Every structure is written in C-alpha cells, then in structure tokens.
Amino acid sequence: MSDTMIELTTPLSEKTARGLRAGDRVRLSGIVYTGRDAAHARLIELLEKGGELPFPPEGAVIYYVGPAPAKPPRPIGSAGPTTSYRMDPYTPPLLKVGVRGMIGKGLRGEKVVEAMKKYGAVYFAAIGGAAALISKSIISAEVIAYEDLGPEAIRRLEVKDFPLVVAGDSHGRSAYEDGKREYRTLETV
C-alpha cells in the first residue's frame, strides 16, 4: 500500500482506472450514483430491453449504499457501504456499458474480477462502520430514479474528498487477498 493519497475526480477514464493498484489510497470528488440490489436488478432489466440508464454510464462510479434520511442541514444521513457481492450478478453488464468504478465493502466474485480486467474498472472499499463520517464527504444528494425503493433508490451524489482504498484493480489484484498473504507471511516469522 502506498502512503501517497491519490486525488481523483469523476467521471473516471479507463486509463485512470487501469492506473490504480490494489491498496492505493484515494480521495474521490465529483458525481457518484447510489444503488443496491433492487435498483441493480431494474438497471439490468432496462439494459436487456434496450433502454437507457437513468445516469450516463461512461466513467460512472456506483456506491453500494442505502443512506439514512437526512437531518437538516445535511443533504444525507449516515451513508455506509453495503456488502458488494450481492451486486455481483448485475455488475458485468454495467461495466460493459461504461461504468468504471464501484464502492462497497467485501470481496468480489470471479466474474466481476474478470469483467473489471476486461473493461478497465476499479473497485473501491469504503470504511465499514464509519457511515456518519462518510456522509460528511457528501455535498448534495438527489433521487434520480426508482423513488419507490426508498433508501435504495438511485441517487446522484456530489462528493468531495471521499476517502477510499482500491480494493480491487483492473489487473485482477485484491487488497483483501494481498492482506491475507501479508498476514500469513507474518505468522511464519
């Protein structure tokens, strides 16, 4: 893991995503879209019917979150990451249409890792258990699709200096797996 903090702004280019490495520390600014299981299922159904996504997919970053209601004057309540593997069945088609980044927590499945390598995408980990802290990086929040899903509706967030770690890169490396290997090495010392 590098001690250098990488400053990124959305949308992400393929070149930028391919330049990131598992373990890199990032501060992300710009527009991020939210979505969890139910919203992802609807997005894939929309793509299968030839429809357009409710946000521009090229270079987009999706945050797997169901935020708590906002308490004035904040634009959003606590906004911690949800477990990412639940989005695994839906992720490859979204990467294929240009989504470049995902934010969540936990390991990703083999099909997602292969799609990240193929399409040049990156998986960021947000700090679990730090939902109130994370919400301070969110400047604005607006529901843009599937309002009937409540907290799981798709929102357009404007973020500034959102602290993240590259958990999975477009080269197939995983910070989670790297961490396990490093720990095993320490056990044998």
Question: Would you call 19 helix, strand, or coil by DSSP?
Answer: helix
pLDDT value, residue 180: 53
Q: Topology of 5-187 in CATH? A: fumarase (3.20.130)
Active site residue 40: yes
Which residues of the chain fall short of a pLDDT of 70?
1-2, 178-189
Q: Which of 18, 36, 40, 105 is catalytic?
A: 40
Q: What confidence tens digit (pLDDT) does each residue in 156-166 have?
A: 999 999 999 99
pTM (two decimals): 0.92
Q: Where in the chain are the domains?
A: 5-187
